[in-house]
Amino acid sequence: MKQSDDEQYLHLLSIFHYVVAGIAALIACFPIIHVTIGLGVMIAGLTHPQQGDGLTMVFFGLAFVLIGGTIILFGWSFAACMVAAGRFLSGRRRYMFCLVIAGVECIFSPFGTVLGVLTIIVLVRPAVKELFMPHAPETAASQAA
């Protein structure tokens, strides 16, 4: 493989990371429905306690809010990590971060699985590893030689 092919693969992978991150962020927004329902149950339990046990309704609503909020937070964090991995792939930085995120992406089926496997296949190549290596700055002695 030529080095330009590897650079092109990394560029394409970075673009696909942005796309899959957008899909993951959108899917992570679905539990907003649970948060809204939980807030409604909590407000109903606080404002109308005579219709039932108000404290039970508050705790039930709080559980909905906490579980939904946690899922949203994890989903958006996952999407942010994928965006960061896309940036690092295009800048040829933080090799290990990109490799770990590629492994974690495999959980997000089917798009993340395909992207994660392809990213791992490209990143384990020795030529690609070299692209991520920091190059020593040229000194005056090496320029004179």
pTM: 0.80
Q: What span, in angstroms and rounded, lies between the C-alpha atoms of 95 and 85?
A: 9
Q: What span, in angstroms and rounded, lies between the C-alpha atoms of 114 and 76?
A: 20
Map out the domains of the chain as residue ranges: 3-130
Q: Where are the beta strands (DSSP E) in 5-94?
A: none
Length of the chain: 145
Is the bond into 31 cis (omega within 30 degrees of 0)?
A: no
Structure tokens at 129: 């590893």
Q: What span, in angstroms and rounded, lies between the C-alpha atoms of 15 and 28?
A: 20
Q: Report which residue type is found at 122.
A: V
Q: In sequence order, which residues have a C-beta less than 8 Å from that of residue 103 and are 6 or more positions away?
A: 116, 120
Tell me what pLDDT residue 136 has: 47
Tell me what pLDDT residue 103 has: 94
Q: What span, in angstroms and rounded, lies between the C-alpha atoms of 101 and 14?
A: 12
Low-confidence ranges of the chain (pLDDT < 50): 1, 136
Please identify which residue in the block is written with the tokens 């927004």.
29
In tens, the pLDDT along 43-82 reads 888 887 666 677 788 888 999 999 999 999 999 999 999 9
